[in-house]
Amino acid sequence: MSITLPLKCDELTLRRVTERDYSDLYDYYTHPEVARFQFWEPFTDEQVAQLIESQATLMPGDPGVPFTIVVVLDAESCVIGDCSLTITSVEDRQADVGFTFNPRYHGNGYATKALNATLGFGFRTLELHRIIGATDVRNEPSWKLMERVGMRREAHFIHDCHVKDEWVDDYVYAMLDDEWPKLGSHIGQIG
């Protein structure tokens, strides 16, 4: 089974980024709480525009560059977050997953459904074997999200990086292609 974009997941549609998404992306990428556990500070106007521009010619599966999939809440016709896949090894069919969501939409299960659908896209369409995700250990909603979709914690790196003038510990989670159908596909109907 191949999953292609756009894809429908209950009340959400996941699709490529377009220029018309600028104001929705700006709304959460410039939010200090969204940037709190990230490597980056709240985005500027130019950085939001660069994010959109960087996706224009990117193809799913291009190695080394995050491929961003926006999450649209159909009832409001707005982007409420995004997930990304970055191919880290073509030969080993491996990628990193990331996600960023507007805090106004937390607590509704949207991120869980979107992350699950993104994993399905990676495993079924891009034929990945392994997808990992990493997060600051203090970002409990992030690591709990990865656990909800069935990713397993594989590592706790102590002082893994120096970010915003402090040493940060990271948790690393992973899922294999043969685990997704058993663990993740029950969350949201992908079609």
Give me 77's structure tokens: 């016709």
In this structure, which CATH number among 3.40.630.30, 3.40.50.1010, 3.40.1010.10, 3.10.20.90 belongs to the domain 7-183? Answer: 3.40.630.30
**Which distant-in-sequence residues (6+ apart) come within 8 Å of 91 by Cβ?**
none
Rounded to an integer, the average pLDDT of 170-183 is 89
- Contact predicate 79/25, CB 8 Å: yes
**Strand ranges (DSSP E) for the chain?**
7-9, 12-16, 67-73, 78-89, 94-101, 130-136, 152-163, 166-176
pLDDT above 50 for 120: yes
Residue 4: what pLDDT? 79
State pLDDT tens for residues 155-174.
999 998 887 888 989 999 99
Block residue for tokens 């980056």: 40
Percent of the chain that is helix, strand, coil (3-state, to 5): 30, 35, 35
Of 30-44, 117-131, 158-172, give the range with the top mean pLDDT: 117-131
Tell me the mean pLDDT in the region 125-140: 96
Domain spans in the chain, listed from the N-terminal domain onward:
7-183
- Predicted pLDDT of residue 106: 94
Q: Kindly report the pTM of this predicted structure.
A: 0.92
Rounded Cα distance between 140 and 41, Å, is 19
The per-residue pLDDT of the chain, averaged, comes to 92
Count the neighbouring beta carbons within 10 Å of the beta carbon of residue 6: 11
